Amino acid sequence: MISVMTNGVQHRILTHVGSGMKLEWDLDKDRADLSPIGTETDSGQTDFPPVWTGSLLPAFVIDSKLYIKAAAANISFGSDGEWRISLDLGEYGTGLLLCDAQPWGFRVMKLEVEWSRDIRIESLQFGTRLLTAEERRRTPRADCVFWPDWAAEGYCVPAAGSSPTHSFWRAWDMGDARLPLGSYGDAMGTPYAAAFPRPMYAAAMGGRHGWLAFGPGEVPDAPLSLQLQSATASVHYLYREDLWGAPDPRRRSWTEPLRLAWGGSAYDSLAALYDSFGPFEPKSSRHLRSFICTWGDFKEKRYDLKQFTKRVSAATPADMVILDDSWETFNGSGEPNLALFPDFDADLEGIRDHGYELAFWQSVGWTDDPAAQGLTANDLLCGPDGEPRQWSWSGSPFGSRGHYLLDPSSERTRQLVRERTVRIVERWRPAALKLDFGYGFPGPDACAPRNPAYRGERLAFTLLKLIYDAAKSVDPGITIIYYGIHPLMRSVSDLINLDDLGDAGDSAAHEAAGHNQRCLWSSLAARHGMAVNTSTGYYWDTLSEILLDTAVVGVNGLTLGETDNDGKRMTQADITRWTALQTWRRRTCGWKPLWLEAELGSSKGEPKLVSWGRLESDEAPAADESGGDSAPRLTALALRNNRTEPIQYAAVASSVTFMGSWALIAQDDADLAVSASFVCIPFSAGELRLERPFQQVHAYAVVDGKLSRVRTMKPDELPDGKLVVTTANELSSIAGFLIE
């Protein structure tokens, strides 16, 4: 701690230096600054403006909209170097903020409050402060007494907006907005952006000189959002205990309500934040399952599973078929809709006979007929009037359809979820369950679980955990599919799905750009060992671009129906590409990205991956520098070159020179530079030269839905030592080249 005297006033300043940045926190002003450590630039500049500024002491809004801002009373240091900051809450109570510095950043380990009278918290906030009298005269409302004070050049919330997908904006671009960081989506008046990558439990702020990522260290008991007002922001936990009561009106504690981590880009700062939850054990490779989903047909009212199976089995090999929304009599029944599927069980056997495993879609917390399931109002989420609430995907109150909402406070509800899950898994032996609409709940302004332990972000998490554990009790190897990319979601899901892309925008171009950006954000989950698969939207024209990035990300996913929104169908070239990836994909979980030509996003533009790769390593910790094998291995590449001249990556796979678009995938666990077996898959007309030795090249085509070798060549048989694909016919017929 540094003690500084300014204008006769002593200031206590805490500092922490790490990862090229310095965090400096003036406790008496409650102003923190994150700044780059001075490094001289070409212009001679050594001092840079702060990357981020803001307050770190907590504030509360309590009964009757009363705002209380904590002040730092005393500070002491614990035996492990942690900062113990006594809090003064004036006439309302006292508290303790326990903080520590880490190599990756800073965290609030614990917040404790002792109230002097019964208190009901409406919200907890980090990053707000009282306004001065002069500042209040500048606000848009005469009753404003506080305002967010976190400031930076811009913001990053992955996939915050849609049509087209956007994740970055300048500080003043969004105006007043509430952006969900957890599971609540549009349910609290936020922009609708559907599932992936929620819940993130994180966001970032920064600019040209660096970025700060922030979020909680555990699943919070309140909806988590980023509150934007004009050009500043705060982290907001919404409780509304004025409606639902407090667990203990005199005492309250929070574990890790805030972590801060930083890096040179928004991606780097979010990666540092997520990495702070490690070390991680990668998920089992059995969870890397490709799928074909029925939603593209079901949404168009095409329910003939026999016709569906006949169509897809002739063109798209995959590990499983997902029976999506509409297979049940109602959401959450777990019973097949025989009016739509009169031969349901026979149709399922037909799917299996064609080589597919089965998977079933399940809504996390919706039911349409609670009485039929033996549920009463006591088992459902109810409003302040005691009447059950309803919700739908859009949040619109108009129309006749709304879903009742399960309250896990009820033992009857918990038992229903467990029994339904067990029944589905035992009856149909699915390879996977695809869970959905954990973001389909209204927030505490409308309803809340009766048991405070299940409130906020813990509501969806609890229901996800019930389903996860029940399914695993019957089949430990079953795969649970969900969306959220945060490490805390590892205990409730195995495979992350990039969703159906409908929210990327209603065009092939929007979907292609949105999927490409989602691939970048999905790599944050791949870093902590999650299985990831890609997915399509509603336009067949995007499939080639999606599959090229799939070569790096993981395994195929298909949501499109027989015809897309433009009436188009899957092309032979894409059938060939799909089959190649189904056969030659990587079969390991846990990797980090290699950026060859990529824009990671900033206020200047959205992320865009042009050429990039997949780095895998053995993460076993070493006792010393000589032990263990953690050297990263480049095992897959997605290469794009739309220019008229070849591009060369001299340090990649010994040296790669190419035109057009190609995917390279190792078929062993070696780096592409030394792999004894790897494939090169063409995605557009072009040529590829590899400056590394090999013995022979096998060309493959697709015959009857399977790869078939059509030719073997020696290196001297290749024209100029290159792999060349130039015509549309070659792209349709050549699945790829296996090099040995």
Question: Is 185 or 539 the better-scoring residue by pLDDT?
Answer: 539
Residue 410 has pLDDT above 60, yes or no: yes
* Burial class of 412 by CB neighbour count within 10 A (0 to 12, 13 to 18, 19+): middle
Q: Which residue has the higher pLDDT, 42 or 418?
A: 418
Digit-coded pLDDT (tens) for 341-397: 999 999 999 999 999 999 999 999 999 999 999 999 999 999 999 999 999 888 888
Tokens standing for 163? 């049509």
* pLDDT, position 30: 97
pLDDT of amino acid 81: 86
When pLDDT is averaged across residues 691-714 and rounded to a whole number, the result is 91
Q: What is the mean pLDDT of the chain?
A: 92
Q: With cut-offs at 50, 70 and 90, classify the pLDDT of residue 43.
A: low
DSSP string, 554-597: -B-EE---SS-TTS----HHHHHHHHHHHHH-------EEEEEE
Return d(Cα 689, Cα 650) in angstroms, integer: 11
For the chain, the domains span 285-369+410-590, 593-622+630-739
**If you average pLDDT over residues 13-34, what whole number do you get?**
94
Closest C-alpha to 680, from 628, 627, 718 = 718
Taking only the tens place, the pLDDT of each residue in 478-536 is 999 999 999 999 999 999 999 878 888 889 999 999 999 999 999 999 999 999 999 99
Question: Given 3.20.20.70, 3.40.50.2300, 3.30.70.100, 3.20.10.10, which CATH number is that of 285-369+410-590?
Answer: 3.20.20.70
Exposed, middle or buried by CB within 10 Å (0-12, 13-18, 19+), for 578?
Answer: buried
Q: For 39-191, list the strands marked E by DSSP.
A: 52-54, 58-62, 66-69, 71-77, 83-88, 93-102, 105-115, 121-126, 128-130, 146-148, 154-161, 166-170, 177-180
Question: Residue 64: which pLDDT band, with cuts at 50, 70 and 90?
Answer: confident
Identify the pLDDT of residue 193: 56
The pLDDT of residue 45: 54
Q: What is the mean pLDDT of residues 310-314?
A: 90
Residue 624 has a pLDDT of 35
pLDDT of 39 strictly over 70: no
Do residues 574 and 548 lie in contact, with contact meaning Cβ atoms separated by under 8 Å?
A: no
pLDDT digits (tens, 9 = 90+) for 567-587: 999 999 999 999 999 999 999
Range in 51-55, 197-201, 381-385, 719-723 the model is least confident about: 719-723
Confidence of residue 8 (pLDDT cuts 50, 70, 90): low
Helix boundaries (H) for 278-373: 295-298, 305-313, 344-353
Residues whose CB is less than 8 angstroms from the CB of residue 44 and which lie 6 or more positions away in sequence, other chains included: none
pLDDT of residue 11: 78
List, in sequence order, every beta strand (DSSP E) within 116-274.
121-126, 128-130, 146-148, 154-161, 166-170, 177-180, 203-207, 210-215, 224-229, 232-238, 251-263
Q: Which of helix, strand or coil describes residue 657?
A: strand
What pLDDT does residue 194 have?
63
Predicted TM-score (pTM) of the model is: 0.95
Confidence of residue 706 (pLDDT cuts 50, 70, 90): confident
Whether pLDDT at 244 is above 80: yes
Q: What is the pLDDT of residues 432-488, one digit of tens each?
A: 999 999 989 999 999 999 999 999 999 999 999 999 999 999 999 999 999 999 999
- pLDDT reported for residue 726: 85
Task: Give pLDDT, residue 721.
Answer: 85
pLDDT at 628 over 50: no
**pLDDT tier, 623 (very low <50, low <70, confident <90, very high otherwise):** very low
φ, ψ dihedrals at 279, nearest 5°: -75, 160
704 has a pLDDT exceeding 90: no
